[in-house]
Structures are given as structure tokens and as C-alpha cells.
Amino acid sequence: MPDLADRVLACTVGIESTTDGGTFSGSGTVISPDGHILTATSVVPRDAAEVTVLFPGFIRRPAAVVAVDDALSTALIKVDAGDLSFLPLARELPEVGDVAFSAGDVDNVMLANGRASFSRGIVSGIYAVSKQGEAFYEGEVIETTAAVNPGSDGGPLVDSHGRLCGVISLSVSPLRWQGVAVPTKVIVNRFAPFASGRVPAAAALTASQVAAPPPLIGLRRTAGTLVPYLVGIDVERTWKPEQLPRISWDEQRRTITDWDGLTETVRRQRFAAFANVARAMDVNQLLRRPSGMVTGIVVSQDGFVLTSLFNMGDDTAFVAKKTGQPRVFTAGEPLEKLLAEPDGGFEQKPNTIRKLTVSLADGSRHEARIHARHEPLGVALLKVDAKALPWFDLAAVSTSPQLGDPVAVLGYPASAQARPTFNTGIVSAPARNRGQQFQTDALLNYGNSGGPVFDAAGNFLGVAAAPIEPDTVLGRIFTLPQLMRWTRAPNSGVGLVARADRIRAVLEEMKQGRSFERIPGPFLGVQADESRAFGENVVVGGIAAGSPAAEAGLKKGDVLLEFNGSELRHWRDLTERVGAAKAGDVVLLKVQRKGSGPRLVIAGRDIETADDLEKLKKSLKPGDTFEGTLSTDDVWDFKAVLREQK
């Protein structure tokens, strides 16, 4: 891969262009030795008057615009040069799951390092998109998990043969919120300079294919076995999904009266105001639940479908008190007006579900209902009236996640006729939320939430849970300080998954209609010391009032050493052992309590205070005898009686 990275970076450039009042920047790819460079219209728009290219090694050259096609979101520019490094154009689409690479002048990295940034990922989806903001392209795109950030736009998406297979674009699917590229297959066939033969598309270079690592091969094989059980779910709520209005600078500029009579300073002010609104709309759109099908998996032949509880959740709708409806935002409004409350103020209401429709693999559609929920796991069980369905026996292949293992998550196709989406990563934390979920860096979004998560050996690990935290909204634009309450956004790299072993333990009860509002099973009542949660010691940060831990005498700061004779080294050890026990079990806890000083141990009880002595007296019967010792050891033994979580 180092050779391929060097080749891609030698052909990746930074680009800056200017129009009346606006400055645009991004990346591009050299595609011919005589200086032709392919980029996006969001980097070089149709009316670009001045274009400058920054080559690796801090070399700047002016460029001329050769052709612009707004419908393809593609621009071709040329510098006067010869014998440049270049990338050939791929004439076919890659496969979902293939290795892919992105490069770009992200955050002006070329000014700092002399060459672009480089990232490796996979092709995670191929589907159709519609126009988004600055990108007019509508059609099939290549989605990738390789990094796409501000400055990547116009840059290369490269396949494992070292060919340019796509031009990175701003046009994304709100259902997925991942980087996408306009395929070079489409560009070669439809972009005038190539279609006419005026600019020949370079022949492929001789390059050894970068092989997918063995875990990825196994993940792709497992994905194929799960696809027949994957379903799409249409969720109809009281109010339809909200698409915030986002337009291009060219569209905005056409609405400004007497543009030609404005000074350069005023023009730049108008462009800056437009850019601020565009950024606010982009970020706020992330908080909106988009239109489109969400993902589920059939888990019984009689029509039970497992999905994420997030998919079945209610948005918070900010409804104007005067109209009883969410506010409608208009393109071109100034930011101050977008942020202002409507006349009479807001009222918060749940955007409740009215109808559920499940699309099965055979194309049939069935109305569904929510049969049961499991709040701690973050899953919901739906029921459709159907029989003899192909179904996934999750109990047969469910297993516990292991830290560092490669995993993948499948999503129902983001558009008609597309293939399921496929995101990969690793298990980054095997136990979250008291062992009910695990964490992965595989990208989780609105599209694959509810999809199956699995490993390369064919094991089912769980169901992708909520991609965003705390919740989704509509009807209001939030300021940057207000946005701070959202601690996790789609594709943040911190994704939570309902663990398969926990699902397996409760699935039959859920099929009987039982819902769970809290974690079932035994309860001890200790909380981790967050400041030391990632250390080697199990340090108690808090004790729940009236809990078994409180009744046993545990205190904040205690270090739990053993549980029924088994050593505890991590909080996962404790949660696993408590989870495996039963309510009513008496467990022996060995605890280190530093700085406690000498204490009496009478009848197996630690006596430190008068209250401890009173408890001992109340537990004794007439005639009972006992012996006591003075202990200076900082290791204590406690007995706790586990109770059912209430």
C-alpha cells in the first residue's frame, strides 16, 4: 500500500477558485501527463474567473477551465505542464466491500505538509442520490468509509488497482451521511470532453491489486448469508421527515437584486452570510430523521422482525403554538430569522408513529406492529402477519464480542435496486451500558441502524442501535452552543450495538409480548469511578441507596478484588459475573479499603462504628457465642444478597 499511497498523493492537488464575491476550495486529481485535472463544481463552479492549483511540494500553477457539467457536478481544468504523474480512470464500478482510498487537501494540509491527506477504507454502498446543496448531481454514487472531510470535495476515490473510480462530491444520502463519489464510469460516458474524445481517458496503469485482508473476505462471505433475511421498514409518523432547504451559491446569488451594482466588500459579506447559513443547515440536518427505509432482520418464520428501538422512536417536534404545525423554513432566509422562534413560541410534541410497513426480500410489503421493546438493549420486536418466511436463527450463531475483532454491519439498500450497504470496523469496547451493548468504530447511521452486526467467522454479534444521542428533532434550528447537547452524531466512530448474547436470552420472552424498561436479572448496586474506569482496578464510584451493595456495607472508593473467589480486573468482569448470577444468590466480595485503620472482626462481621455493633446485636439470638479479632488488613470480605432489578 505505501507505493499506491505515494502514487495517489503525487496526483492529488489542492484547488482554489474565485467568482463574483465568493471563494471556493477543495481538491482535484491529475488525469493526464499534460495537465488535465478532474474536480467537482463545488470547487470550480461554472463562472469561476480565477483558478489556482497547488501541487505537491508547494508548487502553485494557474489553471484554465476546460469544461463544467453541473448535472454531473464535475469540472475539468488544465495547467500548462508536461510529464505529470496522473491516475487512469476506471470504466467500471467497484464492488461493495472492495478496498478504496481517498485523498484530499483537508484543512489546507498541503500548505502545511506539501502533500494531501490519505485514507483507506472500503466501498460501503452503491446507490442513487438526489441533489444536495452545492451538488446538482442525481444518480448512482459510490459510498466509502475512507475519510471524507472539508477539503476532500473534488478529490479522488481510488480503487485497489490504483485507478480513479470516483470524484468525491458533496451530494450525500441523508439516510447514510457518508462520503460519496460520482463514478468515473458515469463521467467517462457522459462528460462532454471524454464522450467526444477531445480529452482521451487515460489507459489503466499496470498495478498489482491490493488484496482485501482475510477478515474482510470472511465478513463479505457472512454478509451474503444474511442478505436474504434483511428487510426494509417504512415508518410513517405524524409529521413527515424534515428536509432543510439548502441551495448553491449560484442559486442564492441570483436572488440578490442589483448584484452588479454592489461593491466587492458587500459581495464578500453576502457570500460569508450564505456560507454561515449553509453550515448551520448542514449540521442541523444531521439531527433530522430522514425519509427512507430503515433496517431490520427476520428472526422467525411466522413474521417476527428485529430492529433498533431508535427506528421505532418518536422525534421531538417543535410545533408553532399559533399553527399547531412545525415551522417551514425557506431557502435564502438570513441566519437570524432561521434561529428566531415563531410568533407565539414553540410547543414540544412527540412525532408519534402512525403506521409501519415491512418490505421483505421477495418484494412483498406487509403492515407491521410493535410487539415488544427492550429499552436497555435498544431493540424492538415487530410482527407482520406472514408465514413460512425465510428467517435468521440468531440463537444458533450468537456469541459475545471480543475486543479488537473485525466486524461489519449491513444496512437495507439506501435506494431502489441498490445492494445492501456494508460498513466495517472493530469491536472497540465489548461491554457498554452494563454489558447490554458493545461499542464499534464501524460507521452507524440512520440507514443501517437496526441492521445485523457480525464477525468474519460467521458469528452474529448484535443489532446496530441508535446512531445519534440524545434524540432527533424537527421544526427548529439550533445554534452552535445548543448543539453541544448532542454527544454523538451519525458516523461518529462511536457506535453502540445490542449484544446478541443478551438478545438471545430475552427473545422468547419478547415474542410472548413482554417488554423490558430496565435491565432484567440480578442487581448489585455499584457504579464505576469514571476517572479510573479504564484502569486495571475495579474502583467503586458510587453506591445506589438501598441496594444490595449498600446493605452489605460497600462504600465509595472501595476496590473490588474478587467475586465469589474469581478475580476482578475490569468492570466487564464484574458485570459479566453479576449477569450470570440469579436474584437471591448470596455472593462473597473481597474488597480493598485503604486507610480504614484497625477494626474488630466479630462473627465474620467488620465492626467499625456503633451502628455496626447495633446491627450485630440485632442479628444475634439468646445464647449465641462468638469470637472477635483485631484486624489491620485493608482487605475486607462482604456478603451481598443479589436482588431483581426494579
Instruction: Write down the pLDDT at residue 209.
Output: 44
Instruction: Write down the pLDDT at residue 206.
Output: 40
Picking from 428, 405, 161, 446, the residue whose alpha carbon sits closest to that of residue 285 is 446
Please give the C-alpha separations between residue 563 and each of 45, 164, 640, in angstroms, as whole numbers: 66, 57, 10
CA within 13 Å, CB half, 16: 12
> Which cell numbers hold the place of 284?
442541523
Burial (CB < 10 A; 0-12, 13-18, 19+), residue 570, is: middle
What's the CATH number for 522-644?
2.30.42.10
Asked if residues 53 and 15 have their Cβ atoms less than 8 Å apart, the reply is yes
Instruction: Write down the pLDDT at residue 603.
Output: 64
CA distance 281 to 551: 52
- Could you count the other beta carbons within 10 Å of the beta carbon of residue 13? 31
β-pair partners for 295: 232
Q: What's this model's pTM, rounded to 2 decimal places?
A: 0.78
Instruction: Write down the pLDDT at residue 453.
Output: 97
Residue 183: asked if its preceding bond is cis (omega within 30°), the reply is: no
Residues lower than pLDDT 50 in the chain: 204-212
624: phi then psi, degrees, rounded to nearest 5: -65, 140
Note whether 2-211 and 228-511 share their fold: yes
Picking from 127, 168, 635, 42, the residue whose alpha carbon sits closest to that of residue 422 is 127
β-pair partners for 306: 297, 381
Q: Which amino acid would we find at residue 241?
A: P
Rg (CA), the chain: 30
Picking from 102, 8, 19, 139, the residue whose alpha carbon sits closest to that of residue 68 is 19
Asked if residues 184 and 107 have their Cβ atoms less than 8 Å apart, the reply is no
Asked if residues 231 and 361 have their Cβ atoms less than 8 Å apart, the reply is yes
Instruction: Write down the pLDDT at residue 606.
Output: 67
The domain 228-511 is placed in CATH, from the list 3.30.565.10, 2.40.10.120, 3.30.1490.100, 1.10.10.10, at 2.40.10.120
CA distance 250 to 540: 59
Asked if residues 183 and 100 have their Cβ atoms less than 8 Å apart, the reply is no
Instruction: Write down the pLDDT at residue 1.
Output: 59
CA triple 63-67-70, angle to 5 deg: 120
Structural domain boundaries of the chain? 2-211, 228-511, 522-644
CA distance 514 to 508: 9
Instruction: Write down the pLDDT at residue 211.
Output: 46
Please give the C-alpha separations between residue 241 and each of 174, 326, 342, 351, 367, in angstroms, as whole numbers: 11, 11, 20, 10, 20
Q: To the nearest 10°, the Cα dihedral for 317, 322, 324, 328? A: -60
Pairing status of strand 315-320 against strand 346-351: antiparallel
**Chain segment 11-35, per-residue pLDDT in tens:** 999 999 998 778 899 999 999 999 9
Instruction: Write down the pLDDT at residue 608.
Output: 64
Cβ within 8 Å of residue 613, ≥6 positions away = 607
- Could you count the other beta carbons within 10 Å of the beta carbon of residue 290? 21
Q: Which amino acid would we find at residue 27?
A: S
CA distance 353 to 348: 16
Please give the C-alpha separations between residue 498 and each of 406, 616, 617, in angstroms, as whole numbers: 17, 44, 47
Please give the C-alpha separations between residue 554 and each of 126, 575, 641, in angstroms, as whole numbers: 55, 16, 13
- Reduced to 3 states (helix: H, G, I; strand: E, B; else coil), residue 248 is coil
> Which cell numbers hold the place of 453?
452486526
Burial (CB < 10 A; 0-12, 13-18, 19+), residue 47, is: middle
To which H or E segment does residue 379 belong?
Answer: strand 379-384
Asked if residues 9 and 28 have their Cβ atoms less than 8 Å apart, the reply is no
Residue 156: asked if its preceding bond is cis (omega within 30°), the reply is: no
CA distance 135 to 170: 6
What's the CATH number for 2-211?
2.40.10.120
Instruction: Write down the pLDDT at residue 139.
Output: 92
CA distance 294 to 477: 25
261: phi then psi, degrees, rounded to nearest 5: -90, -5
Please give the C-alpha separations between residue 410 and each of 313, 359, 494, in angstroms, as whole numbers: 21, 16, 17
- Reduced to 3 states (helix: H, G, I; strand: E, B; else coil), residue 426 is strand
Burial (CB < 10 A; 0-12, 13-18, 19+), residue 415, is: middle
267: phi then psi, degrees, rounded to nearest 5: -60, -45
β-pair partners for 560: 538, 591
Instruction: Write down the pLDDT at residue 624.
Output: 72
> Which cell numbers hold the place of 121?
477504507
Core vs surface per residue 499-514: b (16+ CB within 10 A) or e: bbbbbbbbbeebbeee
Write down how long the chain is. 646
Asked if residues 143 and 413 have their Cβ atoms less than 8 Å apart, the reply is no
Q: Report the greatest alpha carbon distance in the chain.
A: 108
